[in-house]
Structure 1
Amino acid sequence: MKKVYRITMGFLALILLFLPLHVGHAAGTAVSVKNYTYKGYPYIQIVKSNYTTNTDAINKVLKWHAVNNAQASENMKKEDDFHSITSKVQLYYNKDGKLSVGYYDYMYAGGAHGMYDTTIFNYDLTTGKQISLKSILNTDEKKSKAKKYAVYVLNAKYKKGANLFEDVINDPPFDVSKMPFYLRDSGITVRFYPYDVAPFSEGFVDITIPYSEINKK
């Protein structure tokens, strides 16, 4: 279903979702960002930066998500007015030349419920390039430590009564080439999709993994 949803995103659509405009400037950073909407769909842009590398290219990528949703919306309305996708954008990290911007989409195209999707962009503003999870967990050892810590947190949540899949939490899907994540001061937060480790009703499950655990000797 997730694959079908991601493919569908290219030509299906959304209902309008308006967000208030605001400017954000985090302490310790030279980047100011602002929220915009394109035909009602939200996106974030860099409006002031001391890092000049590829700012226009980054903004183009960040805006395209909203443009794609708007184009999809027009096609979707032709099929069924009751089908829809709503979208939100969130600034997760903006500090020390690093930026994490995430999009959260919900598509309903019939059936008992819709489908969630998320797209998170992590940038190194000194180079203008995206930061991949593979570049952080760049050895089998680091990947193993990160997954082990995620398993530890999932088990702790389960013992406290969280609605998680008992038969999955000790070996959750952990594909560093596909897994969404965002930056934190002291680590990274990885995101599990609905049905990865929990029922649909729980939505996304985020686990923060400290760099100290990843780099532990």
Structure 2
Amino acid sequence: MKKHLCFYVFVFIVISCKKKESPLTFKNTIYNATTIETCNMGMCPELDIERLTALGDAKLADSINKAVERVLVSNLVINPDEIPKIKTLDEAIANFISSHRNYHDEFPETNAGYEFSSKSAISLNGSELLSIVFDTYSFWGGAHGYGSTTYLNIDKQTGKSLNTENLIDNEPAFLKLAEQKFRSQKGISENESINSTGYFFENDQFILPANIGFTENEMTLIYNPYEVASYAEGQIIIKIPLNEVTPFLKLSL
């Protein structure tokens, strides 16, 4: 009887431990010239990266961290063809430093240097949706730098990164709502061409931006420079109250 009791107690403890997951928490890790070892061995570009790292719930945290790393790598690597070959942030940083040094070897008279900064933060940590925002600035020796915002949306139940199709239900109806908000903000009447004031939506058809994010109160649509307008226009930011977009969302916030 005692043996059976001990067995049941053991099973109960094991099951309880398996069910109990550490809560999801986050920390920031800083990468700059003082923390990157390679920068002690020669010329280094201006680098300032705050990398958000998830801790706690092991499986979900691992999915989040891999997705965050993919965003940082894609933003940091200069040549898009090299992105599939570079798997980690450390590799991307090494590649960026190497590119910077090669640039100065080729143009030794230049005073300009490469720059890259990225700050990531939790925009929304909801019951089912995690939204992370990355604010990035890069300069690769051209006429000017480039500032952009990237959103990463993750299903907390599956750890899957979500695109617009995964997020939005009845996309045609939502597209109409978003276009109304865009036209209202930019002073473009319903009867006018969406490009009448200088935008360059392809085929004169309104489209959603590449980056859609969330806060506790609103959905944010961000068109980065060159996406639908000139560099001089800067970012175009459209904010829609959550109560208006909730009917179109596939996940609960």
Global fold match (TM > 0.5): yes
What residue number does 1:106 align with? 137
In the TM superposition, residue 55 of structure 1 has moved relative to its aligned partner by 2.0
Out of 187, 200, 222, the position equivalent to 1:155 is 187
Matches within 5 A, 1:15-164: 31-38=24-31, 39=36, 41-49=49-57, 53-64=59-70, 65=72, 67=89, 69-81=92-104, 82-91=112-121, 92-139=123-170, 140-155=172-187
Deviations along 1:28-86, one digit per CA (max 9) or x if unpaired, are xx53211113435321011234xx54321221221342615413322222222434132
| Greater Rg over alpha carbons, structure | 2
**Rounded Cα–Cα distance in structure 2 between residues aligned with 1:69 and 1:191:** 25
Deviations along 1:1-43, one digit per CA (max 9) or x if unpaired, are xxxxxxxxxxxxxxxxxxxxxxxxxxxxx53211113435321
Instruction: Label 1:173 to 1:88 Cα distance change in 2 as closer, same or farther (>3 A).
Output: farther
Q: Secondary structure at the match of 2:67?
A: helix
Checking the alignment, whether the CA contact within 8 Å between 1:190 and 1:206 is kept in structure 2 is: yes
Identity of aligned residues (%): 21
Instruction: Label 1:197 to 1:63 Cα distance change in 2 as closer, same or farther (>3 A).
Output: closer
Checking the alignment, whether the CA contact within 8 Å between 2:214 and 2:220 is kept in structure 1 is: yes
Unaligned residue ranges in structure 2 (runs of 5+): 1-22, 37-47, 74-88, 105-111, 189-195, 249-253
What residue number does 1:174 align with? 207
In the TM superposition, residue 153 of structure 1 has moved relative to its aligned partner by 2.4
Q: Secondary structure at the match of 2:134?
A: strand
Instruction: Label 1:213 to 1:155 Cα distance change in 2 as closer, same or farther (>3 A).
Output: farther
Checking the alignment, whether the CA contact within 8 Å between 2:212 and 2:221 is kept in structure 1 is: yes
**Rounded Cα–Cα distance in structure 2 between residues aligned with 1:211 and 1:141:** 16
Letter in 1 for 2:99: M
Higher strand share: 1
Checking the alignment, whether the CA contact within 8 Å between 1:120 and 1:180 is kept in structure 2 is: yes
Checking the alignment, whether the CA contact within 8 Å between 2:55 and 2:61 is kept in structure 1 is: no
Aligned residues: 176
Checking the alignment, whether the CA contact within 8 Å between 1:194 and 1:200 is kept in structure 2 is: yes
Instruction: Label 1:203 to 1:53 Cα distance change in 2 as closer, same or farther (>3 A).
Output: same
Instruction: Label 1:169 to 1:109 Cα distance change in 2 as closer, same or farther (>3 A).
Output: closer
**Rounded Cα–Cα distance in structure 2 between residues aligned with 1:93 and 1:133:** 17
Letter in 1 for 2:220: T
**Rounded Cα–Cα distance in structure 1 between residues aligned with 2:128 and 2:160:** 11
Instruction: Label 1:126 to 1:149 Cα distance change in 2 as closer, same or farther (>3 A).
Output: same
**Rounded Cα–Cα distance in structure 2 between residues aligned with 1:110 and 1:55:** 36
In the TM superposition, residue 137 of structure 1 has moved relative to its aligned partner by 2.8
Higher helix share: 2
When the two chains are superposed, the root-mean-square deviation of aligned CA atoms in Å is 3.2
1:191 partnered with 2:197: no
**Rounded Cα–Cα distance in structure 1 between residues aligned with 2:243 and 2:200:** 22
Checking the alignment, whether the CA contact within 8 Å between 2:118 and 2:137 is kept in structure 1 is: no
Instruction: Label 1:181 to 1:72 Cα distance change in 2 as closer, same or farther (>3 A).
Output: farther
1:205 partnered with 2:236: yes
Q: Secondary structure at the match of 2:56?
A: strand
